[in-house]
Amino acid sequence: MTNRSTTADFVTAFATGWPEHQPDIMVLSLTTQRGVQDFAFNKEQALLIAKTIKQTAAKLEQPKTS
């Protein structure tokens, strides 16, 4: 796991069901050099991911201005 890529082309998340008739899950779609991967999360998992992202973002340095 230490030899993995740390970049992605883009990440999108949407809170619609997958398939469309499952509003109880969130789908995270990750696009990398290897292609697209979709991940399905329930509400508790989605909230934990959001909390972790918020905590990590708070620790980031301020953007450098020129």
- Contact 39/26 with Cβ under 8 angstroms? no
Count of structural domains, the chain: 1
pLDDT more than 90, % of the chain: 20
Residue 20: phi, psi to the nearest 5? -55, -20
Residue at token pair 């991940």: 39
pTM over 0.85: no
The encoded tokens of residue 65 equal 């201005």
Residue at token pair 């949407």: 14
Tell whether 65 is covered by a domain.
Answer: no
| For residue 36, pLDDT beyond 90 | no
Contacts of 40 (CB under 8 A, 6+ apart): 18, 25, 26, 27
Tell whether 1 is covered by a domain.
Answer: no
Tell whether 29 is covered by a domain.
Answer: yes
Tell whether 20 is covered by a domain.
Answer: yes
Q: What is the pLDDT of residue 48?
A: 94
Mean pLDDT of 35-56: 89
Tell whether 62 is covered by a domain.
Answer: no
Q: What is the pLDDT of residue 64?
A: 85
Domain that holds residue 24: 10-56
Tell whether 47 is covered by a domain.
Answer: yes
Averaged pLDDT score across all residues of the chain? 78
- Contact 31/11 with Cβ under 8 angstroms? yes
